[in-house]
Structure 1
Amino acid sequence: MYRTTAYVGHFLARFERNVKLYMACAALIGFSAFGIYSVLFNLYLLRMDYDVGLIGHFNAAGLLSFALFSPIAGNWARRAGYRRTLVEGMSLMVMGYLLMSLAGFFFGPLRTGWITAVQVVINCGFATYMVNSSPFLMSATAAENRSLVFSLRGAVWPLFGFAGSALGGTLPQTFAWLIDRDGLVPYQCSLLVASLVLAPSLFLFGSTTGDDSQEQSDATAEGEDETRPDTPLLMIGLISLLAAPGVAVARTFFNVYLDAELGISPSSIGWMIGLAQLLSVPAALVMPYVLAKTDHVQVFTYTTLGIALALLPMAFIPRWEAAGLGYVSVIVLVAVRMPAFAVFHQELVAPRWRSTMSAVTTSTALIGFAITSFGGGRLALSMGYTQLFLLGVIITCISIVPFRVLAAQRVRGASA
């Protein structure tokens, strides 16, 4: 891990100050959101005696609010600028993690309502961050560096997510030993750690320079086409919607499946999630070199097929080794696909419309995640996890069709 961190640091030395500050924030996001919180949230709910159906409901509530708030976050950034909007998004996340740690102090319907409301707060903040991250990076980097920068972001998230996952899996046991108490309190203390880790991101984003809202206004004043690119927006939205469920069934239900069905301990689950995060680091970093031999279209197509195939052992082999292999494969392939797809859809539109494109991509993907979380929990209860994972396989494969259609239209448009 030390060599990987040094490798990432070597890349960072080549870029502007804003990119370096962004990557530092991405490290905190990876450690806290993709690490500690990702491992512990569903396990926290299980310790409060919620079944998989209600766990799906809580995840769906958060994801749906993420999806619905994304267009608002994108429009706000066009007026206020990416820097201010990103600081506000991080503030909501820090506050949300703190409030979630207090859920154990409530009971009955009040607890259920509290968790749902806090999930909305957290995911509105996360939506603000995710929607405006790609446009911020596009404005902070030259065109020739974009694939490398987006790949680096794709490596930083899982690298620090690995560290956060490994720590997150052991935090409840550590706090249980320190305070000599079992039950909810160790999980509450662990979620409080997630909030404290993320808090410095407010200072880091606040330290970036430049007025990107003015930059967008200047681009429009200089005669940039103001016509909204409806066809690319609609097509990318459809692709994001269909590509989401395959990843969602793995991310949302992997830890529940291992804990509730296979009886795997939280620390073991944390290490498996951490391993997936760690292996996705080199996967993301090789993306620019893959693009030197192919293009974004082929990267998206083959990684999406790979995700579908990776879900098959999770569906048919009820062992932790098979589930772990499938999950790790999904996360690694997503690490390659995500930066390639981000550069692809951001370059489809003029700078003025990049935050809108990012909002459409994020919101439709999260609608797919929300539907999967809400319906997937009920499907797992009524029909089992095999059918749930197979549904992810089918929808993932379908997502390739509109993507190839859009890519073909782009080629025809460029040659016309």
Structure 2
Amino acid sequence: MLADYWRKMRLFNRQTWIALVVIAVAAGIVFSGVWTVLNNLYLLRLGYGPEFVGKVAAVMLATQALVSLPAGGLAMALGLRRCLIAALLVLAAAGLAYAAAGLVPASWRQPYVLAAAGLVYAGGALFTTALVPLLVGSTGATERPHALALSLAFMSAGGVLGSLVGGQLPGLFARLGGLDPAHPRPYGLGLAAAFLLIAPVVWLASRLPEPPRSAREQAAARGTAPYGLFVMIGLISLLRCAGEMTARTFYPVYADQALGIRTAQIGATMSLGMLLAVPAPLLMPLLVQRLGRLGALILSVLGATACVAVMGLGGPWPLFAAAYVLLIGLATVARSAWMLLGQEVVAPEWRPMSSAAGNLGSGLGAAALSAAGGYMAAALGYGPLYGASAASVALGALTIWLCFGRRRRRAAVAAV
């Protein structure tokens, strides 16, 4: 397996390696790492409670969903490289503005935080919409599964590193500034330091070549888009993400309130899941070789379904924890396989819109989770919530088969 990876990695061109570094730093260290650790803590240090934290999360997810389709159109109009640079600039500016919320007068701070947080996720949606098609377009069919798998591995590794560093930044800035560790400013400075890392990433992205638009691509951009396919991609993303993210988001609350698990055990299990997310997507190319693109995707999604269903049963604790860790690993495999299939099933000129449709679906699914998951857990309990989550992921697997399995069979018949 390692030898095969090495052979495929030698096929990567300069553009592919630049894209992987951009993913590791911007999506991994900055967003999945430091931002994830410090964002909500910063809001708490500013004096806000869980109600406002939930409102900020809802605004961010809603913005991601609303911006996704316009981001796809912008990527097609400007080109992937220009769109990626614009996304990084928006992400950096919005992140720095968010980090400066502690300097804003209290009477203006809430709308300011909501606007800045929404812009951060708008930049993130634009970033994903441009970068995934750019990475796919820089690779051939032979090495493409390995490049997409490595992109998620790099992002997960960057997230682990960013989480470790992010946890230390507020204490460091508090000591340097002689501030109380509970003061919001060290947290804002930690976020600002992270978003400043995007500056060299912008320079790297500017080194990427802009693929020329052929006459066929220009004609297709003016022609009829495969809207039905975009709808199915968005629906599948919604079903997968709504179920999977419900299970992941409510895991610590479920373990604490319903199972009585100690915080240290919960944290250790979540850390183990983060570590597994680094090597797990590297299994995707092996599954593709054995089962094909569709088979690898469906198997990983069904595996994630089984994990969520087991978690819904509750204890014993070792089984519950193992199901969570396996869910994280299988979800990263499924995500890389879905990125591969979702990009290859459309013509190259429509890849930005395919990426945008997936972002729209995942954003709506996650927003539905934020709005309904807590109420469902309070009214019915965590078992039914996780049962509904497993059903959502399973329905996503069924939709994948009905949509793309039939397309594959029709293609086989046409070839005969």
Range class of TM-score, shorter chain: 0.7 to 0.9
Given the alignment, which residue of 335, 339, 357 partners 1:338? 335
Q: State the shift of 1:236 in Å.
A: 1.6
Say if 1:58 and 1:119, in contact at 8 Å, map to a contact too: yes
Given the alignment, which residue of 153, 170, 175 partners 1:155? 153
Say if 1:284 and 1:335, in contact at 8 Å, map to a contact too: yes
Aligned position for 2:198 = 198
Q: CA RMSD in A?
A: 3.3
Distance 1:176 1:314, change over 3 A: farther
Is 2:181 the counterpart of 1:182?
yes
Distance 1:68 1:224, change over 3 A: closer
Distance (whole Å) between structure 1 residues aligned to residue 252 and residue 105 of structure 2: 24
Distance (whole Å) between structure 2 residues aligned to residue 257 and residue 189 of structure 1: 33
Say if 2:252 and 2:266, in contact at 8 Å, map to a contact too: no
Instruction: Tell me the alpha carbon deviations over residues 185-217 of structure 1, each in whole angstroms, 9 at most, x when there is no partner.
Output: 3322221222122332111111112x33x32x4
Aligned position for 2:83 = 85
Moved more, 116-125 or 330-339: 330-339
Aligned position for 1:242 = 239
Say if 2:102 and 2:185, in contact at 8 Å, map to a contact too: yes
Distance 1:264 1:97, change over 3 A: farther
Q: State the shift of 1:168 in Å.
A: 2.1
Moved more, 312-321 or 346-355: 312-321
Is 2:269 the counterpart of 1:277?
no
Say if 2:220 and 2:349, in contact at 8 Å, map to a contact too: no
Distance 1:224 1:44, change over 3 A: closer
Is 2:298 the counterpart of 1:296?
no
Amino acid at match of 2:279: P
Aligned position for 2:23 = 26
Distance (whole Å) between structure 1 residues aligned to residue 254 and residue 110 of structure 2: 22
Say if 2:169 and 2:186, in contact at 8 Å, map to a contact too: yes
Moved more, 104-113 or 26-35: 104-113
Instruction: Tell me the alpha carbon deviations over residues 321-367 of structure 1, each in whole angstroms, 9 at most, x when there is no partner.
Output: 77764543332112111121111121211112111111111111111
Distance 1:180 1:45, change over 3 A: closer
Is 2:77 the counterpart of 1:96?
no
Moved more, 395-404 or 45-54: 45-54
SS in 2 for 1:142: coil
SS in 1 for 2:346: coil
TM-score, structure 2 as length reference: 0.86
Aligned position for 1:395 = 392
Once the two structures are superposed, the pairs formed by residues 301-380 of structure 1 within 5 Å of their partners are 301-312=298-309, 315=312, 317=314, 325-380=322-377
Distance 1:221 1:56, change over 3 A: closer
Given the alignment, which residue of 112, 127, 131 partners 2:125? 127
Distance (whole Å) between structure 1 residues aligned to residue 52 and residue 314 of structure 2: 25
Distance (whole Å) between structure 2 residues aligned to residue 180 and residue 223 of structure 1: 58
Which runs of no fewer than 5 residues in structure 2 stay unpaired?
A: none
Distance (whole Å) between structure 2 residues aligned to residue 385 and residue 43 of structure 1: 26
Say if 1:308 and 1:397, in contact at 8 Å, map to a contact too: yes
Distance (whole Å) between structure 1 residues aligned to residue 347 and residue 173 of structure 2: 50
Say if 1:162 and 1:273, in contact at 8 Å, map to a contact too: no
SS in 2 for 1:115: helix
Distance (whole Å) between structure 2 residues aligned to residue 162 and residue 319 of structure 1: 28
Instruction: Tell me the alpha carbon deviations over residues 1-22 of structure 1, each in whole angstroms, 9 at most, x when there is no partner.
Output: xxx9xx9998655311111111
Moved more, 12-21 or 239-248: 12-21
Q: State the shift of 1:294 in Å.
A: 0.6
Distance (whole Å) between structure 2 residues aligned to residue 30 and residue 159 of structure 1: 7
Aligned position for 1:76 = 74
Distance (whole Å) between structure 1 residues aligned to residue 115 and residue 221 of structure 2: 41
Q: State the shift of 1:81 in Å.
A: 0.5
Distance (whole Å) between structure 1 residues aligned to residue 266 and residue 179 of structure 2: 22
Amino acid at match of 1:185: R
Distance 1:189 1:225, change over 3 A: closer
Is 2:136 the counterpart of 1:141?
no
Distance (whole Å) between structure 1 residues aligned to residue 200 and residue 353 of structure 2: 28
Moved more, 326-335 or 71-80: 326-335
Aligned position for 2:207 = 207
Say if 1:309 and 1:393, in contact at 8 Å, map to a contact too: yes
Q: State the shift of 1:121 in Å.
A: 0.4
Amino acid at match of 2:347: A
Distance 1:332 1:130, change over 3 A: same
Which runs of no fewer than 5 residues in structure 1 stay unpaired?
A: none
Distance 1:378 1:43, change over 3 A: farther
Q: How many residues align?
A: 407
Q: State the shift of 1:34 in Å.
A: 0.9
Identity rate, percent: 29
Distance 1:221 1:151, change over 3 A: same
Say if 2:75 and 2:129, in contact at 8 Å, map to a contact too: no
SS in 2 for 1:101: helix
Moved more, 23-32 or 291-300: 291-300
Distance (whole Å) between structure 2 residues aligned to residue 125 and residue 237 of structure 1: 19
Q: State the shift of 1:285 in Å.
A: 1.2
Distance (whole Å) between structure 2 residues aligned to residue 127 and residue 366 of structure 1: 9
Q: State the shift of 1:394 in Å.
A: 2.6
Distance (whole Å) between structure 1 residues aligned to residue 196 and residue 316 of structure 2: 36
Distance (whole Å) between structure 1 residues aligned to residue 170 and residue 42 of structure 2: 10
Q: State the shift of 1:155 in Å.
A: 1.2
